[in-house]
Each structure stands twice: as structure tokens, then as C-alpha cells.
């Protein structure tokens, strides 16, 4: 063990230089400083191992290695030709099923968690884990689950020999007993490295080496394309293999990993389950599609289900046999549905009612609801937040609003902290589709955990000490009733086809009719009036127009276009509702600054 620790120090010195070189010439991205008011549901494996003083003996925070493997890591870091035995090596693929058994140290509760993880993995892949307490499967490697110190595993299957017939997944009964942790370590065992150690990670995240404990810089090493393959999958901030952004931090009020797209910041370290990208890679790694030579025509990036070749496995937000439907909700109060975007702002408000769970365990610990927003073909959707939950913790593991706006395979933006909710000014989707996902989880029950909660709440402690009171005394602090959010959406004005609907438009525009007769000219002579790409600057414009505030000279937030004469017309969106044009516009003309 001590030899491994010494060699990790050598590896650390090498990676300190490499990371410094990686950041040369790069500007650290901006990030929003957040103030967490709730703790995550469980610790990450690297946190458990760090507190147990195991980090000096582990690679990447939770990966167990042999001494010769550390030698290979050092050689590779220094530019040597030695190749570490990692996931791309076919010899590290398990022969299925993977036999496993529980050491006598494993509690019944932990055994239940592992079996749940096995069931989850088998539901979404062809990979089979077979419990084999009597070692009936012989002649090859097996897995022994042990409750030792920390949470850790090796990567891939180790070589079998007469002196090496099993490898260990270590899951401490008290500190590692969560579904997400079990899946994480088992995914290592199946041959996968961390998402944030991908060879292409530097286009998605910035590693702030100045904020990393200098003894553990090697925890942010990268694998190489010769060692691993990403199967052409996008970088997934929400992967079960992605750590939270604060690992081995010096100033832990600031992140170590900073997303270049800042609204993915809260998505990192968020998942207790395999994401769809994780599922895609697992199925690709073990060639599960070969079990279904005639797969169905899965839509929306779905893949064939190797457990039922007539059905598809769908990205989050999609459902149905072919992934052509909206995913179903598991809480009837939220009202998830499919919505049609138009050229004027619409408001979507979602609510998850948890009042029936007060003090009573349910069979649904994870309440989730989905809304599918669509626009006409070749149109894009603009979406922005009106309000969202502020149950703020790292990874948004308790409650969050998720917006999937781009690649539907990957986890979207997650919002659970007021600082990010307020900073988000909106995005335009990559297609005519957006998925809104809202979830909350209280482990199936909303209950006070201390008999003093009621008296503490009466004395004002819910406001004075929210970091403890809100998660620990949710009933007394009135946190169980409703979880809500609100967003606005519309067809993006930047994608409106610009054309005139009358052959006289150009002439009318030349004599000033765009200003003199906007009710007709702006929608019917959009090209000649050059208003197609104009944008409201405030989400309240539609409301102000509906309440006759367009004539207020101070309402300059609804400016839509700057003319060459340095004039600006304040015009609102126009749209088609039930086939009839409804136009709202600004009458006042103000001088542009």
C-alpha cells in the first residue's frame, strides 16, 4: 500500500505539469457562486474515500489499482509506450453472466441495494449479473461484494488465474448504501472510466488546477483515445460516472470543474441512475444489439431493447414502444402533456403535489413529470424560466427543473438554485423540440426526522437555520405540500421565415407605411419592413400589450427593430392562433440610443 502511495505522488507530479500545460492560453470560464441550502442525498464515492484517508491509494478517487498498473500510468503520463489495461482491451470484457456473491460483512440492506442495481442494469441492457453464493460458476473471475472502508472498484475484469479468481467491489454498509453509488462502482467493474476523464473532456469542462488539493491533481487525469472509446456519444454532464464539480477542492465554495456552458454546472454529479448515454455505451460495449437482428424503427434516438426486440429503450422524456410518445408521469398532480409553441409567449406551470406523502412511505421515491413542447418543422423554440425550485444542493439531487433543448440523448440543464434560476435568460433549441422534466424525491416520504422540529419551527428556525431545518423538518417547515415551476416558451423569432404577402409591400414600405400602418404592414409585409428578426427584450411584453401598456413611453423593453433613420418601433410578437392572425404592437416611436 505504501509503495502505491509513493508512486501516486510521482504520477501526481507528472499530471500537475500536464494539466498546467493544458490550461495554457485558456481563460477560466465564468461561473455563478451558489449557496447550497440543502445537503445531497448521499456522498460521492470520492468523498467517502477521502474522509477515510483512502485517496492516496486509489486512482481517480475511487478506482483500485495494482502497483504495476500505477507504473504503467506513470509511463504513459511521461510519454511511454506502455498501455494501461483499461476498457478498450477486449480481455477486460466480462463473459456474461457476471457471477457475484456477498461477503459476510455485507448487511442485508446493502445486499438489497446491490440487487436493485443489478435489476436496474439488466432492465436497460443485455449485461447479466448472476448471484452465485455457492460458486457454481467456475473457471473464470467472479465479483465479491465487501463492506470495507470506503467505496471503490477496479475498472474492467482482471485476468483470471489459479491464484486470482475474484475481484472486490467495496461498498461500506453505512457510507456507500445508495443505488447511485452501487451502480457507479459496478459500472467501473463492467469496464468504464469516469465521464470527466474522457480524452475529449477539455471542450466541455475546464479544470481549475489552482483550486485542487495539490496532492490529488492526478484525480483529474485523462484517459487517451487509444485506451478508451466514447462510441461517438456526447459528453454527458449528468452521467452516473461524472463526479460533482467540487472534488478535492481547496476553496470548496468554488468549483474545480467548470462547465463552458455554465448552465450545465448543476448537472454535474446529479445522477443516481444510468443516464441514456450511459445505457447507450453499456449496450455498445457488450454488443447487445446483436441479440436483435431485426430491430424496430426506434425514433428520437431510441435503441432496441435487447430484453424485448420489439420495443425500444428511449431517451429521458420519450416513451412508447418506438419512443415516439411523451414519457409518462408517475405523479398524477403535475399534468404533463404535449404542448404546441406559437409566435407569442405561452406559460407552462407544473406542480407536483406531495401532501399525500406526509409521514407515510410510498412506493414512488422519485416523482417525475414530463412536458413535450413542439414547434412546426424547421422552426426553433425559445424558452426561459419564470420561476423554479430553490432546494439548492450540489447536483440538484433532491428537486429540480431540467430543460433538454439540444442533443436529446444527453442530460439537460438542471435548475435548483436561485442564483442560476435568475441568471438564465433563455435559450433557443437546436430543433423544433424541447423536453421539460420536473422531479422531486424525498425517499418516498415527507416526514420530520426530529421530535423537536415543531418547536424549532415555531421559534423561527426554518428561516434562521434552513440548511438543517428544511431537509430535516420538512413537515414543520411546510416543505411537503407542493413543488412548482413556471417557464415561458414560443417559436423563436430568429427562425421566422421572412416574406411579404402582398406585391405592393416594398412600395408601401418606401413611403413609410411600416410606421404609419403597423397593424397591417408588420405581419403582412415583414420582409419589406425588416421586422422578422426583431426580438422583445422582456418576457412580460405580451402581458404589457394585453393590458394596454404599449403606449407607455417608458416601455422600451419591447423594442423590436432599429431603422436606418435611428428610429425604433416597439412591436410585439405576432402569431397564428386557431388560424387567425392576432397582432399586438407598440404605437409609440422612440428615439434609439
Instruction: Report the binding-site residues.
Output: 184, 188, 194
Pairwise CA distance, residues 114 & 156, whole Å: 18
Residues of the chain with CATH 2.60.120.290: 329-442+480-494
What residue spans in the chain does CATH classification 3.40.390.10 cover? 2-225
Judged against a pLDDT cut of 70, whether residue 18 lies above it is answered with yes
Of 426, 21, 487, which Cα lies nearest the Cα of 209?
A: 21
pLDDT of residue 140: 93
Q: Indicate the pLDDT class of residue 570, thresholds 50, 70 and 90.
A: very low
Specify the 3-state DSSP secondary structure of 107: coil
Q: Of 47, 64, 185, 513, which is the active-site residue?
A: 185
329-442+480-494: what fold?
Jelly Rolls (2.60.120)
**Beta carbons within 10 angstroms of residue 548's beta carbon:** 8
Phi and psi at residue 73, in whole multiples of 5°?
A: -65, -40
pLDDT tens-digit series, residues 352-370: 876 655 655 445 567 899 9
Cβ neighbours of residue 168 closer than 8 Å, sequence gap 6 or more: 64, 143, 144, 145, 146, 148, 153, 154
On the CB side of 347, how many CA atoms lie within 13 Å of its CA?
A: 10
To the query of whether residue 2 is one of the catalytic residues in this protein, the response is: no
Confidence at 548, pLDDT banded by 50, 70, 90: low
What is the residue-wise DSSP string for 275-291? -HHHHHHHHHHTTGGGG
Mean pLDDT, to the nearest integer, of 77-94? 63
What pLDDT does 515 receive? Answer: 80
Fold of 2-225: Collagenase (Catalytic Domain) (3.40.390)
| pLDDT for 483 beyond 90 | no
Helix (H) or strand (E) holding 189: helix 179-189
pLDDT band at 478 (very low <50, low <70, confident <90, very high): confident
User: pTM (2 decimals)?
Assistant: 0.79
Residue 579 confidence (pLDDT): 24
Cβ atoms 213, 23 nearer than 8 A: no
- What is the pLDDT confidence band of residue 189, given thresholds at 50, 70 and 90? very high
Assign 442 a pLDDT band (cuts: 50, 70, 90): low
So what's the pLDDT on residue 583? 30
271-298: b (≥16 Cβ within 10 Å) or e: bbbbbbbbbbbbbbbbebeeebeebbeb
pLDDT in tens, 382-412: 999 999 887 898 999 888 999 999 999 999 9
Amino acid at each position: 500500500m505504501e509503495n502505491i502511495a509513493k508512486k501516486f505522488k510521482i504520477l501526481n507530479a507528472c499530471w500537475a505539469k500536464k494539466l498546467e500545460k493544458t490550461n495554457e492560453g485558456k481563460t477560466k470560464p465564468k461561473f455563478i457562486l451558489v449557496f447550497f441550502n440543502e445537503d445531497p442525498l448521499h456522498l460521492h464515492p470520492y468523498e467517502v474515500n477521502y474522509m477515510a484517508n483512502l485517496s492516496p491509494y486509489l486512482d481517480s478517487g475511487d478506482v483500485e489499482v495494482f502497483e504495476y498498473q500505477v507504473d504503467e500510468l506513470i509511463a504513459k503520463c511521461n510519454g511511454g509506450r506502455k498501455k494501461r489495461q483499461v476498457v478498450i482491451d477486449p480481455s477486460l470484457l466480462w463473459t456474461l453472466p457476471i457471477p457475484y456473491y456477498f461477503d459476510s460483512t455485507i448487511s442485508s440492506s446493502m445486499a438489497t441495494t446491490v440487487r436493485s442495481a443489478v435489476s436496474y442494469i439488466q432492465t436497460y441492457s443485455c449485461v447479466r449479473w448472476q448471484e452465485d453464493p455457492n460458486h457454481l460458476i467456475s473457471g473464470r473471475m467472479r465479483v465479491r461484494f465487501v463492506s470495507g472502508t470506503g467505496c471503490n472498484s477496479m475498472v474492467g475484469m482482471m485476468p483470471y488465474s489459479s491464484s486470482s479468481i475474484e475481484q472486490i467491489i467495496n461498498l461500506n454498509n453505512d457510507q456507500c448504501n445508495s443505488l447511485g453509488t452501487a451502480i457507479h462502482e459496478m459500472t467501473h467493474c463492467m469496464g468504464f472510466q469516469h465521464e470527466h476523464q474522457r480524452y475529449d473532456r477539455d471542450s466541455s469542462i475546464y479544470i481549475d488546477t489552482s483550486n485542487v488539493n495539490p496532492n490529488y491533481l492526478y484525480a483529474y487525469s485523462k484517459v487517451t483515445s487509444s485506451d478508451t472509446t466514447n462510441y461517438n456519444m456526447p459528453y454527458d454532464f449528468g452521467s452516473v460516472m461524472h463526479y460533482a464539480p467540487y472534488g478535492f477542492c481547496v476553496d470548496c465554495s468554488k468549483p474545480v470543474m467548470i462547465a463552458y456552458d455554465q448552465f450545465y454546472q448543476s448537472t454535474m454529479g446529479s445522477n443516481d441512475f444510468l443516464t441514456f448515454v450511459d445505457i447507450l455505451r453499456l449496450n455498445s460495449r457488450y454488443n447487445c444489439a446483436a441479440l436483435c437482428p431485426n430491430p424496430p424503427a426506434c425514433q428520437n434516438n431510441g435503441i432496441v431493447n435487447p430484453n424485448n426486440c420489439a420495443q425500444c429503450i428511449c431517451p429521458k422524456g420519450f416513451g412508447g414502444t418506438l419512443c415516439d410518445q411523451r414519457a409518462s408521469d408517475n405523479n398524477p398532480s403535475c399534468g404533463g402533456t404535449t404542448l404546441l409553441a406559437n409566435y407569442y409567449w405561452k406559460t407552462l406551470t407544473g406542480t407536483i403535489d406531495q401532501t399525500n406523502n406526509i409521514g407515510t412511505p410510498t412506493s414512488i421515491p422519485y416523482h417525475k413529470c414530463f412536458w413535450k413542447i413542439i414547434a412546426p418543422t424547421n422552426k426553433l423554440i425559445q424558452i426561459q424560466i419564470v420561476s423554479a425550485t430553490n432546494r439548492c444542493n450540489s447536483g440538484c439531487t433532491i428537486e429540480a427543473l431540467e430543460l433538454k433543448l439540444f442533443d436529446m440523448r444527453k442530460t439537460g440543464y438542471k435548475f435548483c438554485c436561485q442564483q442560476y434560476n435568475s441568471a438564465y435568460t433563455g435559450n433557443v433549441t437546436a430543433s423544433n423540440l424541447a423536453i421539460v422534466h420536473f422531479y422531486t424525491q424525498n425517499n418516498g416520504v415527507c416526514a420530520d426526522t426530529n421530535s423537536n422540529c415543531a418547536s424549532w419551527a415555531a421559534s423561527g428556525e426554518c428561516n434562521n437555520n434552513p440548511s438543517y431545518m428544511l431537509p430535516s423538518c420538512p413537515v414543520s417547515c411546510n416543505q411537503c405540500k407542493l413543488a412548482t415551476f413556471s417557464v415561458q416558451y414560443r417559436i423563436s423569432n430568429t427562425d421566422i421565415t421572412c416574406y411579404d404577402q402582398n406585391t405592393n409591400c416594398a412600395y408601401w414600405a418606401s413611403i413609410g407605411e411600416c410606421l404609419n400602418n403597423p397593424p397591417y404592414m408588420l405581419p403582412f409585409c415583414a420582409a419589406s419592413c425588416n421586422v422578422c428578426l426583431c426580438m422583445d427584450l422582456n418576457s412580460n411584453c405580451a402581458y404589457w400589450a394585453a393590458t394596454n401598456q404599449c403606449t407607455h413611453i417608458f416601455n422600451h423593453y419591447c423594442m423590436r427593430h432599429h431603422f436606418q433613420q435611428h428610429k425604433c418601433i416597439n412591436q410585439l410578437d405576432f402569431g397564428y392562433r386557431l388560424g387567425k392572425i392576432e397582432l399586438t404592437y407598440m404605437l409609440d416611436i422612440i428615439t434609439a440610443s
